[in-house]
Chain A
Amino acid sequence: MDRREFLRLTGLGAGTLMIPVIGAPRDLFGATTPIPSADKKALADAALETARARGASYADVRIGRYLNQFVITREDKVQNLVNTESYGVGVRVIADSTWGFAATSDVSKDGVKKAAERAVAIAKANAKVQTDPVRLAPQKGYGEVSWKTPIQKSSFDVPIQEKVDLLMAVNAAAMKAGAKFVNSQLFLVNEQKYFASTDGSWIDQDVHRIWPNFQVTGIDEKTGKFQTRDAMSAPMGMGWEYLGKVPPVSTLGTGLWANTYDMLADATAAGAQVKEKLTAKSVEPGKYDLVLDPTHLWLTIHESVGHATELDRVLGYEANYAGTSFATLDKWQSKSFKYGSPQVNIFADKTQTGALGTVGYDDEGVKCKRWDLIKDGILVDYQKIRDQAHIVGQNASDGCCYADGWNDVQFQRMPNVSLAPGKAQMTPQELIGKVEKGILIVGDGSYSIDQQRYNFQFGGQLFYEIKDGKLGAMLRDVAYQSNTQEFWNSMVASCDERDYRLGGSFFDGKGQPGQISAVSHGCATSRFNGVNVINTERKI
């Protein structure tokens, strides 16, 4: 997570009103019951009619109520309970073959009509410098439909006291096990999104996400050295049922969980491991075979495949900010570009249960699906939205359009992008058993990649030496540097579906003005041969 994104979301950077609050969530929001669809339909229709009357050839309206709850603690104190509620409408139009957008928090008939008028005026002003008319892939209207994240228990229905008690217990467990400091947080999100378009869709969606997280710090008071260890949780498209007491699915170096997360057990492990990190052996730089746990590998997938196969980046739409991509159209058209080894199968899927990017329909009214991006190591497709499909000779969107609020214009965002597990039966222990000189990396750490997604450097949370097939001592100061194509071609094996787990980003940034989105990446523990490992220790 980018610090600035975190600060923006929690408001900590602004130093404003970060005061602990506790109470019943329904008292706090009074908004967890969605607004009736009929009310939203009447408003949306008013905006669509205005846009059409002003000359728009296409229009869509998104009426959104966005609820967030952040519980923020350290050691034995609840530092903040932040509740945000934002309600408004965004109107997007095509007029004179050019996009225009306007958003307002005045969700009245007059307010939405005015927004529609402004959006059309903007489109017409911009049409004068437009030489490439907007062309939308055809999309049928779905009529009035709805979708909800398949949660068992809404996090917003859980009393604040239960959340505070959980984090206080987590902090106490980490301290008892050896941590000097602990910060823990719960991030809870509910997006109530209503979409309507001139194609004849009125789509009501209720989206839920959760991320329990912590960071523990260990300090060697004699030397002044400090180390941290982050939670092994994944942010999920789930409700409160994600938190529970279950045995881990894997125990490589630490307890690792899949669809239920035992935060207390993880905190206990973290307290002990952060102490161990203080005295761990500093890594000898060189080439190693890397065994990457899903808690780590999701981020490498995200950066080196997820972003690289976004069609807007490939085409140059993001050139001024996030960058372009090495996975250019000629490579895709050749049907022979070896993105990775034949073991590498990477797919996009916005229907995967529990994943952050899973919804019924995207933010331009396209039903979500699953498709291949890399098949048997070959680049076979990209991630597309409606106004891009024609550029690559296709006539349908992949359903990848998203806006992070009512006030932001929707654009192409990454779907869940995952590495398919290996077909042959293999456990992580069996995978490690074949490695002579390697390092096991668990958890995500520092991450950086160039603007075309070639050169990257990743750290991690926990590093263990592998010698002659056996897991050995803990290491520190580890980071690996590689090139995307070289790295994915060095993948020799992936464990089977029993080890398949999701990781993800709650705060993935892209676009101007900057927007965030949440996206998951699944994979099983995988092996990459001969990767360059550097030592990151310095003296100041």
Chain B
Amino acid sequence: MTMLSKDEAQALLKKVIALSKAETCEANLNGNTNGNIRTARNNVTTSGVQDDLQLVVQSSYGKRAGTTTINELDDASLEKAVRRSEELAKLAPENPEFMPPLGPQQYVDAPGWVDATAKITPEYRAKGAADSINPSKEKKLVAAGFLQDFFGFQAMMNSKGLFAYYPSTNVNFTVTVRSEDGTGSGYAAADANDVAELDTAKTSGVAIDKALFSMGAKAIEPGKYTVILEPAASVGILQFMAFGFDARQADEGRSFLSKPDGKNKKGEKIVDERVNIWSDPADPRAPTAPWAGDGRPRNKTMFIEKGVVKNLYTSRYWAEKTKIEPIPFPANMIMSGGTASTEDLIKDTKRGLLVTRTWYIRMVDPQTVLVTGLTRDGLFMIEDGKLTFPVKNFRFNESPVIMLNNLDALGKPIRFSDGDGFGGGASLLPPMRIRDFTFSSLSDAV
């Protein structure tokens, strides 16, 4: 059994800490069960479940520390892990950046656990697969999808009295539907902590509609276009900007938030004043672990407020050295918006492109956060407030910083995760209309 209750996890961790003979000892315990079903060619391809329970033990003497990980948890293995980490700590060189374990902390409540999600059966997964396969077959389309469910916990305890426990569940469904002749393709995704909120049939319907409308795309010239980016299109671009919010990187002069004099851009306006980006583990729309792996609380933190850089995340060492708040790496990304739906934004657009998904985004220049990537599975022309025809895919070269300066309008934020979410959690992002988005070449891919 890899799912431990709070009491069970606490009892096991107490046993580990009691074994310690070091100055400090800290242990992290993670247990999870993952189930999945994968489809392609209107059939089930692979499907399975995975169970694992892992323990990490860290012992320290002064600024010397040692760490061991194991996934065997009988009494003899626990003792072996603790002794090994102590032996290693004694052999370690002093690390001036080592920070001792934290004492007890207060954490916000994050509503990440739903019983029903932990009870998903193979039959439920098979039905989810059928929800995409059957209607696709009826319309002579071909579905490929993935449904994965998770339940598990993370817990930690240390010799300074800190104990933390966070149970969570998640279910994620993504589906790509293509025409039999390969001239059309549509994608849709849904993500929830509560399986009752997941509608595999409805999500599949979105992908089917996009696939049908995307057939026979026309080539238009690359160049600068007004675009409406749906969350599945913007999340991968915005992540690269979020990774640049590390305080040390900025202070060391190797981030887009660096300034020539060794300072950083905290407090400066870098994007349009309508942009607000924050992280909040307790947001019921996208809950995530309220503590980081080193025990630091994750509280609601503004990173960009009214276009201004408000906070940077940092290691505890760098926070102490530079006397800033020790904000840990965020585990979800939330951006404010308005009330308009994507459809409302389209109605209000004279000429532009609707980008429903982007793909293979990579950093080209970290100095300007210039990234490159491609549109995929649904790119449509908007003329006089209506979607008029499908457009062949483009490669783009664009910086999220430039993009958020060219902001035109924001819609209502929605939850998105492709199953590989930012920092482990889902994102809440609005559809956004951007001026002068740079497409640099055509792609023949469908």
Contacts and interface: CB of A to CB of B under 8 A. Distances in A.
Interface of A: 3-4, 11, 13-17, 19-24, 27-28, 30, 77-79, 81-88, 92, 98-106, 118-119, 121-123, 125-126, 128-132, 160, 164, 180-181, 217, 219, 221-226, 228, 315-321, 323-324, 326, 328, 407-409, 411, 446-455, 457, 459, 477, 479, 481, 483, 512-514, 534, 536-540
Interface in B175-206: 175-176, 178, 182, 185, 187
A21 B47 contact: no
Interface stretch (B11-19, B337-345, B371-379): B371-379
B86 to A, nearest CB: 10
Contacts of A537: 365, 368
A106 B52 CA distance: 9
Interface stretch (B213-221, B278-286, B393-401, B427-435): B393-401
Given A452-B446, A536-B364, A15 B329 contact: yes
B226 interface: no
A282 B66 CA distance: 47
A459 B397 CA distance: 13
Nearest to A321: B146
A446 B364 contact: yes
Nearest to B92: A22
Nearest to A3: B243
Interface string B254-278: 1010111010000000100000000
Contacts of A82: 67
A451 B359 contact: yes
B230 interface: no
Closest 6 CB pairs of A and B: A16-B293, A101-B48, A224-B260, A125-B122, A319-B144, A452-B445
Given A320-B144, A320-B145, A448 B374 contact: yes
B48 A122 contact: yes
Contacts, number: 305
Contacts of A122: 47-49, 122
B332 interface: no
B65 interface: yes
Q: Which of B56, B70, B88, B395 neighbours the largest number of chain A CB atoms within 10 Å of its CB?
A: B88
A15 B293 contact: yes
A538 B142 contact: no
A514 B254 contact: no
Interface residues of B, number: 116
B367 A226 contact: yes
A126 B365 contact: no
B92 A129 contact: no
Contacts of B68: 28, 83
B325 interface: no
B395 A481 contact: yes
A446 B372 contact: yes
Contacts of B443: 450, 454-455
Interface string B63-95: 001111111100000001000110111011101
B201 to A, nearest CB: 14
B420 A20 contact: no
Nearest to B70: A85
Interface in B225-256: 243, 252-254, 256
B122 A326 contact: no
Contacts of B372: 446, 448, 457, 479
B355 to A, nearest CB: 14
B104 interface: no
A513 B47 CA distance: 10
B363 interface: yes
A119 B258 CA distance: 52
Contact of A16 (B28, B34, B91, B126): B28
A36 B47 CA distance: 30
Nearest to B359: A451
B364 A21 contact: no
Contacts of A121: 122
A164 B91 CA distance: 13
Given A21-B89, A448-B372, A317 B441 contact: no
